[in-house]
Amino acid sequence: MKIFQLQNGYHYNSDTMALYGFISSFWNKKYKNVLDVGSGSGVLGMLIKRDNPEISLSMIDIQDENVALCNKNLSENDLNAKVILTDFKMYKSDIRYDLIISNPPFYHDGVTKSDNKHIAISRYDKYLTLDDFIRVSNTHLNPNAELMFCYDSMQLSEIFISLNRYKLNPTHIRFVHASKDKNARLVLVRAKKNSRSKCEILPVLFMKENRLNSQEATKIYTMADLQSELC
């Protein structure tokens, strides 16, 4: 799949690839209506749509440039989806989704702050806080529907607090490490509405082994089969 990205903008990275692998491992035919929040270039939602062409996919982003990129990438790859330009906090819809997916912004302003507006909006949580993301997601989910996303692993307690506040139960957690000698930097979360399931902590995902892509990371990249081009 070919993905156009902005020359001087935010680019998808290994976080998105780890999340793609996570979502794919739980894929269920009950997911009919899917929403990708903060779609960026559209890569995550488009991978899921490519693999599961029967779904109805919607993608939402706050930036004009990203909506244009999504439409360009959809056309390039002969895929269909509804692309929505709006702030997710303000999103209103009669549609209820079976699955919401997202790689939302989770950096604080004090962490590697960027003066590039496109990158800043894509990365920093002041544009979409964790609590707002989970709160609004909950309002757009069908009963017993699911939310799958990635986030900063150091904010795990805040994730659990917000999920509990909005009646979303975490059912699966997986930590992602850059390598075996590094602390977890990312957590993958699967949560379900109106669920009482216990939370399973899955085996760690190491992205690198001996400075090379791990066997599992290689499998995910191969499954994604992406070609990127700057525009």
Residue 75 has a pLDDT of: 98
CATH code of residue 148 = 3.40.50.150
For 23, the domain range is: 2-230
- What burial letters (b/e) apply to 79-114, b meaning 16+ CB within 10 Å? bebebbeeebeebeeeeebbbbbbbbbbbeeeeeeb
pLDDT at 110: 53
Confidence (pTM): 0.95
Domain count, the chain: 1
Judge contact between 107 and 153, C-beta under 8 A: no
User: What local confidence, expressed as pLDDT, does residue 109 receive?
Assistant: 66
Q: What values do phi and psi take at 200, rounded to 5?
A: -90, 130
The dihedral sign for the CA sequence 2, 31, 186, 175: negative
Q: What is the pLDDT of residues 54-87, one digit of tens each?
A: 999 999 999 999 999 999 999 999 999 999 999 9
- If you count them, how many residues does the chain have? 231
For residue 199, which of 222, 219, 174 has the smallest C-alpha distance? 174
Rounded Cα gap, residues 30 and 97, in angstroms: 11
Give pLDDT, residue 111: 53
Considering only CA atoms, which of 93, 102, 197 is closest in space to residue 142?
Answer: 93
Q: Which residues of the chain have pLDDT under 70?
A: 109-114
